[in-house]
Amino acid sequence: MKLRNFILCLFLVSVAIAPIRADSDSSDDEIDPWCWTHPVKDVSEIDHDEGGVNWGFCQLPEVNSDGTTENVKIPYKIYVVTPDIDGSGATGAFYITMQGSEGKTDEVLLTNEGFEEGTTSILNVVASNVGDISKIVLRNGGTDTYECAKVRVELGTKFWDFDC
Q: Which domains does the chain have, with CATH numbers?
A: 2-57 (no CATH), 73-163 (2.60.60.20)
C-alpha distances in Å from residue 91, one per residue of 74, 96, 146, 150: 27, 16, 9, 18
pLDDT at 72: 73
pLDDT at 80: 97
pLDDT at 67: 66
* DSSP code of residue 41: S
What's the CA gap between 76 and 149, in Å, rounded?
A: 19
* Pick from 79, 150, 68, 75: nearest CA to 103: 68
pLDDT at 20: 35
pLDDT at 110: 95
Low-confidence residues of the chain, pLDDT below 70? 1-71
Judge contact between 78 and 103, C-beta under 8 A: no
pLDDT at 160: 96
pLDDT at 41: 47
The 3-state DSSP class for residue 130 equals coil
Give percent of the chain with pLDDT exceeding 90.
52
φ and ψ at residue 124, rounded to 5 degrees: -110, 130
Q: Is 6 exposed, middle or buried (0-12, 13-18, 19+ CB in 10 A)?
A: exposed
Question: pTM (2 decimals)?
Answer: 0.60
